[in-house]
Chains A and B, each alone.
Chain A
Amino acid sequence: MSAVKKFFKAREFTSFLFLVGLFLIVGVINPGFLTLDNISACFNSSVVYTLIAVGMAFAIFIGEIDVSVGSTMGLSAAVAGTMIQNGSNWLLAFLVAILIGVVVGLVNGWGVAVMKIPSLIFTLGTNGILRGLMYLQVGVEQVNSLPKEFKDVSSMTLIGSFTIYYCCAVALTVGIHFLLTRTKRGRWFIAVGDNAGGAELVGIPATRTKVMAYLICGVLSAAAGIIFASRIGIVTSLSGNGYEMKAVAACVLGGISLSGGVGSVIGAGIGAVIMASISYLLVFMGFSSNYDNAITGVILITIVVVDALMQRRAAVNNRHARLAARTSAAPGGKEGLEQ
């Protein structure tokens, strides 16, 4: 029991150890990997995943899911990219992109929390609509002549060889983590996912909290879109496709339980680094990046299966312990015999 408890206690820490272990193994196989540049490249390249995964974490905290994040990111990248390409004010472009995130988040939140439609189904629908809108925006031509200054921001470093973007993403993640764990309202998200009925009883507005979670998820995805445009420099109609799956995988790798109520955004951030690094690491291990998906799949399935088995075992043990407690009291009729 206590081993299980400890494991749950430090879920994101386990993920972090996993990441370190991964780096070390690659380092043993190919000592050339263990340079600051290579390692910071792993972190820097995860910035888009990090933002989306942190957003997704909110949806998962409340026990739901949002598979429209990839398209939200893509659409915001396309819109902001087009605007900047056409010489509009950067700030305006950013605001429009974020606004897209707000609208998407509110619509998703309305559908899931207010209309009580299963989140996977509803966000799958909005995903389709957003993807289509992206084609309308980007069309056959791509956004590919973004101004150099805009693209250059992505390679500016702030601390050591860590880029401004990644430093901002880390600061944001840590900030959100503190808001979630240290403020009254921050804890509502986890509470709603942990025990929705209990949350209502202690006076937490569950519906509003869920809408808020989707709103944050939409905004962070949109922000990821801006960074995507700046980093990659090209936005096609397929940009962001499949990112939702990577984000879910990152959350799971970071120790967030898909049944809600467990995990932290720090975990999501670490999971994002793992997701982003796998293909990079494979190259250093002498494998082709063809192994990328297969390995991601194996890791993902292994983690969730082990997690589910441990949780189920704990639940069964718990139930049995409760039932056993009833019989282990006085043997039958003891009180009667006193008479």
Chain B
Amino acid sequence: MEAVGNPGKNVPLLTVRGIYKSFGLNAVLKGIDLDVMPGEVLALIGGNGAGKSTLMKIIMGIYSHDSGQLAVNGEAAALNRPAEALARGIYMVPQEPLLFPNMNVEENITIGFDRGKAELHKELADTMAGIGWNLDLSRKASSLSIAEQQLVEILRGILRHAKLLILDEPTSALTFDEVKSLFKVVRDLREKGIGIIYITHRLAEVFDIATHVAIMRDGMITIQGPVENFTREDLVKGLLPPDAADHTQAKGGASSRVDYSAQPVLELERFSGYGFSDVSLKVWPGEILGVAGVVGAGRTEMATTIFGMDKALGGRVLLNGRDITGKKTRQVIAAGLNYVPEDRHLNGLFKICDVSANTTSASLFGGALGKVFLNRKSEFDLTEKYVKNFRTKVTGHDQLAGSLSGGNQQKIVIGRSLATDPGVVILDEPTRGIDAAARGDVYHIIHQLREQGLSILLISSDMEELEELADRVVTMYQGRVNAEFQKADINQDNLTAAAFGIVKREAKEA
């Protein structure tokens, strides 16, 4: 590996100074400073929307930055295109590897090179021998496990003489053994002087693998330094807003108005499916139950499985005492449960349909809109009701949903679910990607719904949001519920710790 024989161990591989980036009015990065030295594994931690992936995309040249400087090996670098970043020895292994599924491993690694095939093959073999990997080069990429696909991506990076590897949540889809072998690889690379930025959601991994750590929150780096300077508690604190402690005090006394002696509306009994396992929880009438956790904790999978989109593997779901496990989506909606999907664009919105078609799309079965023919009056009334109640800004019912702002689109999607008159609504990340004003509106809607006696399962990665809205919160970690918090215990400190897999004893007992 001649790539590693770099001059001067003291010149940082990558220097990031004062990077700012906004999308429209939304400031995503607010002055980022970061250094990565050769042989350093920098763990980059942060909640959803903290700006990690934006920063990485800027380093990779996929996005341009508004202001600030980047330098590679001490030389200022523009990094405007991915090709430029590649040429300067930066390689990112994305969370979902971008392989060619129908090509074999060797073809996947060597495609896009200008060098001769024999030469590449030799180098590849040498590299693999050097690291001590055994990967059958003739296997098809589609037959590889995620861990193996990541190895292939890493090999691509090494063969391109990458000096800085960015690993984006590499362990999120790995089994325990695969994680172990990945860590071994990371250590090997570190030995060889390659710098690594390791993005993760799991605090435990930081102490296993990283030499340095940086925590991002809200577009800024709050904590940065060698790992041994910090404890887990320090890291959790870094993930929280500075005034979180005050919040804890102020909200601590608020009591819930929910009648917990009544029969629960929604009950999960040891419910299991793909991506989550053994989940038991209850939602009472008029209650907002928050479900906290990090991306990939199995919350969305649980919700969509309740909603009949995927196969349940065990346990039961009771809605008002009726078993709805394994029912089709239509039957679940008819039984009185609806779901507002996490990915608005993929699963929620009909972009080239108008507002009224969107709002009424889930009400097409049953008699609400007429038997065979669409009752235009009912359609109009239903649409008008939700446009008005939610103060959705539209030029008319015939405006196309795709031309609305994110916040208004979200209101339309929520309206669609409520138009079926459900008793329970599952809201999956209802405020992701919308601006502050629209967020306030959505909160207002959620409060309104609770007043009306609806039960809400609120899936959110935004701990502040849960603190503000939820009557009770459960946290999920790696597919299981690992903690439950009553109103008095809901604070960002507790939720964040539990979402990252650290459960304090007193919370567990509560």
Which chain A residues border B175 with CB–CB below 8 Å? 325, 328-329
Q: Contact: A204 with B100, CB < 8 Å?
A: no
Q: Contact: B298 with A326, CB < 8 Å?
A: yes
Total interface residues on B, CB under 8 Å, equals 51
Please, how many angstroms separate the alpha-carbon atoms of A320 and B140 in the complex? 19
Chain B stretch 283-307: residues in CB contact (< 8 A) with chain A? 296, 298, 301
Which chain B residues border A1 with CB–CB below 8 Å? 143
Contact with B along A130-155 (1 / 0, CB 8 A): 00000000000000000000000000
> Is A89's beta carbon under 8 Å from chain B?
no
Q: Contact: B503 with A198, CB < 8 Å?
A: no
Q: Contact: A332 with B477, CB < 8 Å?
A: yes
Residue of A nearest to B139 (CB): A5
> Is A197's beta carbon under 8 Å from chain B?
yes
Q: Contact: B176 with A197, CB < 8 Å?
A: no
Please, how many angstroms separate the alpha-carbon atoms of A110 and B86 in the complex? 30
A265 to chain B minimum Cβ distance, whole angstroms, is: 15
Which chain B residues border A331 with CB–CB below 8 Å? 478, 480
> Is A323's beta carbon under 8 Å from chain B?
yes
Q: Contact: B102 with A184, CB < 8 Å?
A: no
Q: Contact: A329 with B176, CB < 8 Å?
A: yes
Chain A stretch 45-65: residues in CB contact (< 8 A) with chain B? none
Please, how many angstroms separate the alpha-carbon atoms of A187 and B274 in the complex? 36
CB-contact partner of B112 in A195, A204, A324, A332, under 8 A? A204
> Is A32's beta carbon under 8 Å from chain B?
no
CB-contact partner of A261 in B101, B476, B505, under 8 A? B101
Q: Contact: B146 with A325, CB < 8 Å?
A: yes
Contact with B along A320-339 (1 / 0, CB 8 A): 11111111111111111101
Total interface residues on A, CB under 8 Å, equals 42
> Is A9's beta carbon under 8 Å from chain B?
yes
> Is A8's beta carbon under 8 Å from chain B?
yes
Please, how many angstroms separate the alpha-carbon atoms of A319 and B274 in the complex? 9
Q: A323-B275, A336-B504 are in contact. Are A195 and B176 (CB under 8 A)?
A: no
Contact with B along A186-220 (1 / 0, CB 8 A): 01101100110111011110000000000000000
Chain B stretch 447-481: residues in CB contact (< 8 A) with chain A? 476-481
Q: Contact: B478 with A195, CB < 8 Å?
A: no
> Is B436's beta carbon under 8 Å from chain A?
no
Which chain B residues border A339 with CB–CB below 8 Å? 502, 504-505
Which chain A residues border B128 with CB–CB below 8 Å? none
Which chain A residues border B98 with CB–CB below 8 Å? 195, 197-198, 201
Chain B stretch 169-208: residues in CB contact (< 8 A) with chain A? 172-176, 178-179, 204
CB-contact partner of A333 in B102, B174, B276, B477, under 8 A? B477
B83 to chain A minimum Cβ distance, whole angstroms, is: 6
CB-contact partner of B82 in A184, A201, A333, under 8 A? A201
Which residues from chain A sit less than 8 Å from chain B, CB to CB?
A: 1, 5, 8-9, 182, 184, 187-188, 190-191, 194-195, 197-199, 201-204, 261-262, 314, 319-337, 339
Q: Give the 8 A-B CB pairs with smallest separation, nearest first.
A: A327-B479, A332-B480, A336-B503, A202-B112, A323-B275, A332-B482, A333-B482, A198-B98
30 A-B contact pairs sorted by A residue (CB < 8 Å): A5-B143, A8-B102, A187-B107, A188-B111, A190-B100, A191-B103, A198-B100, A199-B100, A202-B111, A202-B112, A261-B101, A261-B102, A262-B102, A319-B274, A320-B274, A322-B146, A322-B173, A326-B173, A326-B275, A327-B276, A327-B298, A327-B478, A332-B478, A332-B479, A332-B482, A333-B477, A333-B482, A333-B501, A333-B508, A336-B502
